[in-house]
Amino acid sequence: MALTALVTGASSGIGKELARIHASKSGNLVLVARRETELRALKRELEHDFNVQVHIFPCDLSTANAAQEVYAFCQTNEIQVDYLMNNAGFGGQGNFVDRPLEKDLEMIHLNVETLVALSHLFLQDMKKRGSGKILNTASTAGFLPGPLQATYFATKAFVVSFSQSIAHEMKPYNISVTALCPGPVKTEFEKVAGFEGGGMFDKAATAHQTALKGYNAMLKGKQIIISDKQIGFLIRFVLPFLPARFLASTVQKLQTLPEKK
C-alpha cells in the first residue's frame, strides 16, 4: 500500500525535493504552498515520472485557520496522511527593532503556530492508527542566538525543542518526530530573507542533499538530524563551551551584509 506524505512549502527548495524523494519511492503526496502554478507543474512532473497520485492545495499557511483548512481538505478527500512534513517557513534580515513588526509576527505564525496546529491535527489520526511520522524542518539556527535574524532563530529553537518533546510523547504510539536542522542551503530562502550579496550561502548545500538526509533520518525515526557534519560537530562539542556574548557577536558578523558601493 502506498504511503501518503503531506509536504508544506512544496513549491520550491527543500519541500520540493522532499516531494520528489517520496514520489521516487512510489509514495502519494499532498502538496501545500502559496504558488498554484508551481504546485501544478510539480504535480504533473511527479505523476508522469513516478506514476503516483498527487493532490495539491494552494494555500498561504501564514494566514489564520490555514492549518485547519489543510486538514479539512484531507478529510473531505479521504486522504490518510502517513508522513507529515512541516517544511514551510521564512526568515528576514535586519535588527529586530528596525524590522516591520507585522513581518515578524507573520513569521512566528508560519514557522511556529501553523507547524504546531498541523502537528496537533494530524497526530490525532496517527495516534488512533498507531503509526505515522513527522519531519519538521528546523535549522542549525535553532541552537544559536541570532542577531540580525532574532525572530527566525527563535522560531527554529522552538521547532527543535517542540519536536524533541512530542517525539518522546508519541513514542509509545509508534509515531516518530524528526527535526531536520540544516546549515545554509541554496534555496529561495537566501533571497526572501534578504541575504543576497552576502557570503553565507557561497558554499551552501543543495536542497536535494539536505532533503535526502532529512527524509532518511525520518524513516529511521531519528529525533535530530544536523545535515552539515562540520556544523554538527561545532554544535555538539564546541559551542557549549563558548560564552554567549561571543556566539552572538560571531553570528552577527556572519549575517552582516557588505556595504553597497
* CA–CA distance, 60 with 84 (Å, rounded to integer): 17
Q: Give the predicted TM-score (pTM) of the model.
A: 0.88
**Is residue 193 over pLDDT 50?**
no
What are the pLDDT digits (tens) for 16-34? Answer: 999 999 999 999 999 999 9
Question: How sure is the predictor about 194, in pLDDT bands with cuts at 50, 70 and 90?
Answer: very low
- Let me know the angle formed at the C-alpha of 194 by 190 and 199, rounded to the nearest 5 degrees: 60
* Residues ≥6 apart with Cβ < 8 Å to 111: 89, 90, 152, 155, 156, 158, 159
The full set of domain ranges for the chain reads 4-255
pLDDT at 39: 98
Which architecture characterizes domain 4-255 according to CATH? 3-Layer(aba) Sandwich (3.40)
What are the pLDDT digits (tens) for 165-181? Answer: 999 999 999 999 999 99
**Is residue 154 over pLDDT 90?**
yes
pLDDT at 188: 55
pLDDT at 113: 98
User: Could you list the active site residues?
Assistant: 152
Classify strands 28-33 and 205-206 as parallel, antiparallel or unpaired.
unpaired
